[in-house]
Structure 1
Amino acid sequence: MYQEPHGADAAIAPPDRRARERRPFRQQRRPEERVRILGETVDLMRPEEVLLHVERCIEAGRRSIIANHNLHSLYLLPRTPGMRRLYDMADVVELDSTPLIHFTRILGLHSRPFHRCTYLDWRDQFWSMANRKGWRVLYVGGADGVATTAAERLSARYPGAVIKGLSGYFDATPGSLGNTAILAAVREFQPNVLFVGMGMPRQELWIADNIEALPHAVILPVGAAFDYEAGVQKAAPRWMGRLGVEWLFRLFSDPKRLFARYCVEPWFLIGPALGDVRDAMRRRKKPH
């Protein structure tokens, strides 16, 4: 029977019976690996654990959503109607932010640097698995031609996988001709893994709006993943991600588009962050 947690574990999200029934993989995880920060729930998972989840879901033929949280998503979530639906549906919510990893350590949670988890952290392992197992991988997103170029490059490196890209430049309004055509193309391809790279919050809203029309696949919002694979954008060196300064690389690469995201939005999270610190201090003062 579930008991109220004590100490640092008070920040751990309590289990939900219906959620456990829907999500058998989550049931196998330790409670301290699912935590709440800034009012939202995230999973402290290594990249290899994410890939294990992907593999199990594909083998079981079940649909699963793997979402992610970073400072940008936490800023957008209360300001974007409908975005929360995606996170409510998600089986896994990756923690895609080294600064947030550091923050969880301040709160006394069970996080480690290797819990930072996003596409660029597990891309090589993923494509190696897709190649060995013959997965069908579809990417929807990017400008015209970008996804196709990325798919061609990846197919040359990983010929065992079946890879296709579809442009993200279409009318995503539910019921529109463009959206209907994209959904038909997705169903026709029957992917094992569906990457959706339309940027936040468009990708999250599109998945939530169309979830019932999508095939039973592992579905991940991944932003500019195929822009990197096509060479349209340059990914920051992974050591920058580990140090938590990847945002500087991206800011200098595209300051006009990213200035507000990295230099303005985080200030709006100070209030919730101080609330988390206050609650953590109160828990530490309580006798165990």
Structure 2
Amino acid sequence: MSNGEPVRDLKYELLEQEVKILGINIFAIDIAKAVKLLLKSDYESLESRCVSATGAHGLVYSKRNYIFRKILQSFFLNLPDGMPSAWIGRLKGAKKMQRCYGPDFFKETMIASANTTTAHFLCGGKEGVAAILKEVCETQFGATISGTYCPPFLDVSDYDYPAIAQTINETKAKIVWIGLSTPKQEIFASNLSKYTKVDYICCVGAAFDFHIGNVKQAPSWVQKIGMEWFFRLIMEPKRLWKRYFEIVPLFIYYNFAELIKGNFLKKNR
């Protein structure tokens, strides 16, 4: 973290690049701008800033869970992981808003930080996943990976966050990547940020499994028409059917309810 303008000025600048969707400020530009923002060196902070690539799942969950909603609202940056969020953002007037897909954001940040002093720490996935991803990041993206950690399967409140943070801090990493799932990864990141000495902690969901080939990604044309959820449902029906058959209708309903109440275009920052 270098000397420069206080982080509050950067956050103020961010407000002009965000749009509120279901009560959460969502980044309203594109991946290139988000990566540039993440790698800025002329701002300082005394705490680790949390970033989430969150889609309809996270936004709907935040409507039903007050604690999770406050966590997302406290994050430095929330990226629109799905096309539906980008569509809603454009309807609200954010004409430049593009989808900031977690796996793509992860990849582009790795590439942009190649041959720099920015070191990354990978935290997530089943045993061995982070180690494989480390090799992918170093050989394919040219990034510097200072350490990895695969959290055991525990309740999010049962992790020894000070111990995990100590492991991370010792590697001198600047950016930590969390590859769990929503809402666990955001809660994990929020708890971890109290003890880490890094610039950013980024939650990117299934990016770990996608980039090592454990999970097949939807074709780009499927992603662009907003049907990736259906593709993933076909790939993993037993795990995802309940989530998507609940999330998709509720995302539509909550936004329609805002429209009916006259709150859809309200700028409440």
* TM-score between both structures, scaled by the size of structure 2: 0.84
1:216 aligned partner: 198
CA–CA distance in structure 1, aligned partners of residues 196 and 212 of structure 2 = 25
Which among 179, 185, 188 is matched to residue 206 of structure 1? Answer: 188
C-alpha deviation, 1:247, in angstroms: 1.2
Structure 1 segment 1-288 matched on structure 2, within 5 A: 22-29=7-14, 31=16, 33-56=17-40, 58=41, 60=43, 62=45, 63-80=48-65, 82-106=67-91, 108-112=92-96, 115-159=98-142, 161-171=144-154, 178-279=160-261
1:5 aligned partner: none
Structure 2 unaligned regions, length at least 5:
none
**RMSD value, Cα:** 2.8
Percent of aligned pairs with the same residue?
21
Whose helix fraction is larger, Structure 1's or Structure 2's? 1
Q: What letter corresponds to residue 120 of structure 2 in structure 1?
A: V
C-alpha deviation, 1:97, in angstroms: 1.7
Structure 1 unaligned regions, length at least 5:
1-19
120 and 111 in structure 1: CA distance in 2 versus 1, 3 angstrom threshold? farther
CA–CA distance in structure 2, aligned partners of residues 160 and 60 of structure 1 = 22
Q: What letter corresponds to residue 251 of structure 2 in structure 1?
A: L
CA–CA distance in structure 2, aligned partners of residues 157 and 270 of structure 1 = 39
Residue 168 of structure 1 aligns to a residue in which SS?
coil
CA–CA distance in structure 2, aligned partners of residues 139 and 71 of structure 1 = 25
Determine which structure has more spread, i.e. the larger CA radius of gyration.
1
Kept after mapping to 1: 8 A contact 2:53/2:102: no
Kept after mapping to 2: 8 A contact 1:140/1:166: yes
Residue 205 of structure 1 aligns to a residue in which SS?
helix
233 and 78 in structure 1: CA distance in 2 versus 1, 3 angstrom threshold? same
CA displacement 1:178-225 (0-9 Å, x = unmatched): 544422211211211111111111111112223210113211111121
169 and 28 in structure 1: CA distance in 2 versus 1, 3 angstrom threshold? same
Residue 196 of structure 1 aligns to a residue in which SS?
strand
Q: What letter corresponds to residue 51 of structure 1 in structure 2?
A: V
169 and 238 in structure 1: CA distance in 2 versus 1, 3 angstrom threshold? farther
C-alpha deviation, 1:110, in angstroms: 2.0
261 and 23 in structure 1: CA distance in 2 versus 1, 3 angstrom threshold? farther
Kept after mapping to 1: 8 A contact 2:111/2:142: no
C-alpha deviation, 1:253, in angstroms: 0.8
C-alpha deviation, 1:55, in angstroms: 0.9
CA–CA distance in structure 2, aligned partners of residues 258 and 184 of structure 1 = 35
CA–CA distance in structure 2, aligned partners of residues 93 and 192 of structure 1 = 19
Residue 131 of structure 1 aligns to a residue in which SS?
coil
Kept after mapping to 2: 8 A contact 1:86/1:207: no
Kept after mapping to 2: 8 A contact 1:146/1:227: yes
C-alpha deviation, 1:64, in angstroms: 2.2
Alignment coverage as a number of residue pairs: 260
C-alpha deviation, 1:146, in angstroms: 0.7
Residue 139 of structure 1 aligns to a residue in which SS?
strand
23 and 282 in structure 1: CA distance in 2 versus 1, 3 angstrom threshold? closer
Kept after mapping to 2: 8 A contact 1:61/1:216: no
168 and 111 in structure 1: CA distance in 2 versus 1, 3 angstrom threshold? farther
CA–CA distance in structure 2, aligned partners of residues 172 and 188 of structure 1 = 25
